[in-house]
Amino acid sequence: MGNNVYHYRRVLRPPKAMKVLLWVLFAESFVVAGIMWLLATGSMWVPAVVTVLILGFSSAMLTSRGVITVDDTTLRLAMTPVFRKTIPLADVASVEPGTVDPWADFSGWGYKSRGKDLVGFLFDSGPAARVTTRAGRTYVIATPDADRLVEVLRQQASLRV
C-alpha cells in the first residue's frame, strides 16, 4: 500500500435495519447449532464442523464493515473481514459524483456485481462516487462524503474535471 499515507479513508457500517437482521441471523445460528447438538447421535465431528461454519459465517457478517482508502497509487475497497479489491489509480479513466440506492440499483448492500462492467460498494443509500476504469468497469462507491472522495480521486489520478 504505497507509503501508507492515506489521502482518503472512510469506514462504513451497514445501516441499522441490516444490523438488526444480522443479529437475528447470529442468534438463529446459535439455536440451529443447539438443536443439532441435541439431535446428534454417533460421531460428534459433524455437528462440531457445522457449528463452527454457521457461527463463523454469521459472526463474520455481523462484524463486517466497508473500508475505502486512497493512497498515492491505489483505491482500495475492503469488506472486512472477507474481501479486498485494489484498483490502481493509473487505471482510473473518470470519476463522477452521483447517488445510489443499494436495494433498487444492486439488490442489496456490500460488494455487489451487476453484470460484468458494473460493481457497487454499498453500505447505505445516498451520495456515491462513480469510478470508471480504462477497461470500462464502473465502481459505484456509496459514502456520505462522496464529493470528497471524488475530489481526492481526481487529484490523485490526475484527471481533468
Cell of 103: 436495494
Confidence band, pLDDT 50/70/90 cuts, at residue 37 = confident
Single pTM value for the model: 0.77
Mean pLDDT to the nearest integer, 127-150: 97
Number of helices (H), then strands (E), in the chain: 4, 9
Q: What is the pLDDT of residue 2?
A: 47
Determine the angle formed by the axes of helices 45-62 and 16-39, rounding to 10 degrees.
170
What does residue 82 show for φ and ψ, rounded to 5 degrees?
-120, -10
Q: Is the pLDDT of residue 30 over 70?
A: yes
Q: What is the pLDDT of residue 1?
A: 45
Q: Is the pLDDT of residue 61 over 70?
A: yes
The C-alpha cell 441490516 sits at 18
The C-alpha cell 452521483 sits at 98
Going 67 to 72 to 75 to 81, the CA torsion angle's sign is negative
Distance CA 29, CA 24 (A): 9
C-alpha closest to that of 61 among 103, 104, 13: 13
What does residue 160 show for φ and ψ, rounded to 5 degrees?
-85, 145
Please, are residues 87 and 74 in contact by the beta-carbon 8 Å criterion? yes
Distance CA 11, CA 19 (A): 15
Confidence band, pLDDT 50/70/90 cuts, at residue 77 = very high
